[in-house]
Amino acid sequence: MREDQIQTAESANSIASKALSQKLEAVGWALFFIWVGIAVLADVGWGWGLLGVAAIILGEAAARRLWDLNIGGFWLVVGLMFLAGGLWDLLQVPWPLAPILLIGCGLAVLWGAVTGKPLMRK
């Protein structure tokens, strides 16, 4: 293959990946709005509502990994926090969640500063 043909093929793959990424994002938002509407109408409670949102966010991240697309670290953390919040509510854990999450985030940042290896990369 000639160099210009290789560049054209890489450009086509990049365009296809971007289109797939945009579709996944649109499907994620659509599922979010549908789930919130169902959760409010059915009065499922905070625990199940948060777990549903976590499933949507983490499901999109899993699909992105499956199709070799960029997984946003921010959304992965948000999904895990929704998961923790939902489980926290359903399991009726007596300790407050926010301080524990803040301590965990602080420890993660400290780990990255001390070791030079941040837990999440840009």
Mean pLDDT by 10 residues, the chain (122 residues): 61 82 96 98 97 98 93 88 94 91 86 80 54
**Cα separation, 80 vs 104, whole angstroms:** 12
**Cα separation, 27 vs 67, whole angstroms:** 15
Q: Which domain holds residue 111?
A: 25-115
Question: What is the pLDDT at residue 112?
Answer: 83
Residue at 10 is within a domain? no
Question: What is the pLDDT at residue 117?
Answer: 78
**Cα separation, 99 vs 25, whole angstroms:** 31
User: Angle at which helices 73-90 and 97-115 pack, to 10 degrees?
Assistant: 150
Question: What is the pLDDT at residue 73?
Answer: 82
Stated pTM of the model: 0.77
Give the number of domains in the chain: 1
Residue at 7 is within a domain? no
Residue at 72 is within a domain? yes
Residue at 80 is within a domain? yes
- Give the HSE-up count for residue 63: Cα atoms under 13 Å, Cβ half-sphere: 15
